[in-house]
Amino acid sequence: MAVIPPKPKQYKKHDKVEVIINESSSQDSSQKLETKKDASLSGELSQFPSLSALLTQLELRNGIGTPAPSIGADAASEWKGDGKFERRDRFTARISAVVLEVKPNGMLLLEAREQITMNGEHSTLVVSGLCDPKDITTANTVQSSQLANLILRSENSGDVNNAASKGPITRFFDAIFNF
């Protein structure tokens, strides 16, 4: 007895595909800088004609005398700085996307948009990318990690987001006194 596998589904523009978003990212960065600079400048006037001997006796003599005048300057600076940045993000969701275009090579351009407004809070989620139809399961789902040129944008606005944001005066002083 032979079982013939079903033919792969042929997707058309405006067909629906569910995208399972399971993205995580991790960033670590550290920097250390240490500088030290020393500078020294010194000078001494060892010969200078005596103006009084030149004008009165028409003689060219050394008019410096002892001790010889000298000038000197020293400068030193030292700076140490450390910086560390660490961030970990995880994003999970399920969202229905539509096929915007079927490319000549059979790839599907998917896009999903979801907007939620609740109690003055606005949340927008946009997902788009290119999908190989072979990656879509029989349950009509695809993992976000299987989308090429993935764009995942989540934007939130409202009272909660505004309360968590710095005000203009705080941002001004942070810009001026950022060290």
pLDDT at residue 108 tops 60? yes
Provide the pLDDT for residue 96: 94
For residue 158, is pLDDT > 60?
A: yes
Residue with tokens 């969202």: 95
The Cβ-side half-sphere exposure at 21, using a 13 Å CA radius, reads 23
Kindly report, residue by residue over 10-34, the tens digit of the pLDDT: 899 999 999 999 888 888 888 888 8
Question: What's the rounded Cα separation, in Å, for the pair 141 and 49?
Answer: 96
Q: What is the pLDDT of residues 53-70, one digit of tens each?
A: 777 877 777 766 677 777
Label residue 97 exposed, middle or buried (CB < 10 Å: 0-12, 13-18, 19+).
Answer: buried
Q: What is the mean pLDDT of the chain?
A: 83
Task: Find out whether the peptide bond into 67 is cis, omega within 30 degrees of 0.
Answer: yes
112-133: per-residue pLDDT in tens? 999 988 888 888 999 999 999 9
Residue 177 in this model has a pLDDT that exceeds 70: no
Q: What is the mean pLDDT of residues 76-83?
A: 81
Residue type, 141: T
